[in-house]
Structure formats: C-alpha cells, structure tokens
Amino acid sequence: MLRVPRFLAHRASRRRHRALLALAATLLAPVSTTLTAQGNAAAPRAVLVTGASTGIGRTITEHLAARGWFVYGGARRAEDIAELNAIPNVQGVRLDVTVPAELDSAVALVRRAGRGLHGVVNNAGVAAMAPLIEMDDRDMTSLLEVNVLGPFRVTKAFAPLLLEAKGRVVLISSISGTLSGALLGAYSMSKHAVEAYGDALAAELAPFGVGVSLVEPGNFRSAIGRTTSAQIQRAIDANPDSRYAEQMRARLAGMANYDRYPEPTAVAEAVAHALGDAAPRRRYMVVPAEREAEVTIRKAIDELVQLNQWSAYRYDRAALVRMLDSSLVRHP
C-alpha cells in the first residue's frame, strides 16, 4: 500500500478543513451576500408586495423570497406581520393601501433600510358581487378605494424609489379586466380601471426606464372567496325581496367551490418574470383552465368586432386580419 508522507497528509487535512469552513460560511452567509434572483453575488433586489398576508399575495411573497428577492410584505394585522417576519428574506410592513399615513410610514421604512426598491407588486384587492342598481354605495366605494385608488396611491408613493432603481411595477389585475357580467359589474369596473391605469402608467414611466406589467389571473384559490361569500350573504340579508335574489343565492352556492381551485403558484411565477426578466411582458394572462382563456380571448375579439360595427371607418375582414398579423409580429 502506498504510504502518504505525514506532512502531506496534514496539508490535505488542512485543505479539507478550509474547504469545509468555506462551504459553511457560504451556507450560513447573510442574505445580503448570497446569490440573488438574477444570479449575482450582491445584495438581493428588494420588492414590496401589498396584500401579502393571504392568498395570491402570500404565494407571491413566499415564491419571490425563496428565489432570493428581499420582500417587504404589506399587511394590516399585527399577527399577519409577525407571520411574514418569520419567513426568510421577508419583512412584514404595516400597510393598509387606503391609509395615507401607513403609506408614508412604509416609504420611510424602506428608505431607512437602504436596500432601494426594485419593484412594487400591487396585489391588495377585494371583491363584491351585487346587482349594480341595488349595490350599497359603501360597498362600491370600498371596492374602488382598494382596487383602483390603492395601486394609484402605492405606486405614486414609491415612485421616487422606483425611478432611482429603474425598476418595475406589477399590477395584479384579473381576467375580469376584460370580462364582465351580471352581479360582477363592480369588480369588473375596478379591474377595467386597473387595465387602463397600467397602460397609461407604462407610457409615462417607459422614458425613465421603469417597466409596467399587468398580471391577469383567472380562478385560483384565495381568501377573497371567503370574504366575497360573506359580502354576498350580507347583500341577500339586506334586501331579501331583491329581484335578483335567486341569482345572488346561486352565486353564493357557487362560491362554496372556491377552495377547490388550484394554488396560485403560476401567478407568482408570472410576477417573478415581470420583475426579473430583461424583456417583461405587458400582460400575463394566467388561468388554470383552457376554458377561462378561451372565454377571455373571445370577449376581447367580440369587443373588437363591436367597435368596428358602427364606425364610419369600418374595416373589412382582410384589413382586420392584417392588423392581427401586425400585432402578432410586434408581440410574438
């Protein structure tokens, strides 16, 4: 058997020891020196996620944090903030998007932390179902405050940081930003507004290097199902003689299946792409079933055809197909 000289064995042992120490240092290093979501050995990019305590927002927060982003998770309740703080790479932040003072405090907190801010994910949202001619004004106002003015206020408040970083804004919209229908009018109104807001914001921020994307989920599991069920029940109780009572009860029964929808992991993946890819999409429709995609695309096509019906400058089929082909070239 070949004998290794003792001094060489000691050297090999020391080399192994140093290698093990280096490996341990890498594994135990603070997050600021580990690999980021972009693969660089530098401080991870920081993002803010509103409505991070449950549902889609919680999934986005956990997904980004697990991939090396540092996430400020906005939540309203102390217990939710504590839960967020327990997640590696996450700092819970008290943030009700309808309270200007909490927005100011959140901006100050992010500035003090010194990480900058690469992105804002405007996820906080609520839903309400009711016939528009009977809907309580307070329900409508509350919905628009959160779903429309919320993203407006949050993005405006953090705009200086986003402009400094040449960062990203992600708006969690919905396929209801294209679709609408009976009893869904208020929610669809809010998401149509988010779509318009996203397009205008993108045009305004592009010259300064800030990207804007809209993520449009279909039906995924979320706490919004339980809160909407409670709201529908309140509406039924408040107006038992409503001419829409039967439809409302049917909607309430349908909401019982909400927890059977898939987890919103695909939504979080779309958000990660919008935040981190060199060429983010303007829109990401993310649905768990082909039927939802078909209904949404058909609705957009129907609207195109309806726009063309009464126009003094009506286009024939060949011209419309050429327009479609041109758009497909611009957005392959």
The alpha-helical segments, DSSP class H, found in the chain are 6-28, 55-66, 78-85, 100-113, 137-144, 150-165, 185-205, 224-238, 245-255, 265-276, 290-309, 317-330
Residue 216, SS3? Answer: strand
CB neighbour list of residue 123: distance below 8 Å, 6 or more residues apart: 49, 50, 51, 52, 56, 57, 60, 172
Q: Which residue, 280, 144, 297, is CA-closest to 214?
A: 280
CA 41-123-60 angle, to 5 degrees, is 40
- What long-range pairs does 99-106 form, CB within 8 A, spacing at least 24? 100/153, 103/153, 103/154, 103/157, 104/157, 106/48, 106/72, 106/74, 106/157
**DSSP state for residue 208 in the 8-state scheme:** G
Inter-residue contact 90 to 65 (CB < 8 Å): yes
How many whole angstroms separate alpha carbon 201 and alpha carbon 151? Answer: 11
Locate 300 and state its tokens.
């957009």
How many whole angstroms separate alpha carbon 200 and alpha carbon 110? Answer: 26
Which value, in Å, is the radius of gyration of the alpha carbons in the chain?
25
Please identify which residue in the block is written with the tokens 């839903």.
127
Of 187, 197, 244, 284, the catalytic one is 187
72 catalytic residue (yes or no):
no
Distance between start and end Cα atoms, the chain: 66
Residues forming the active site: 187
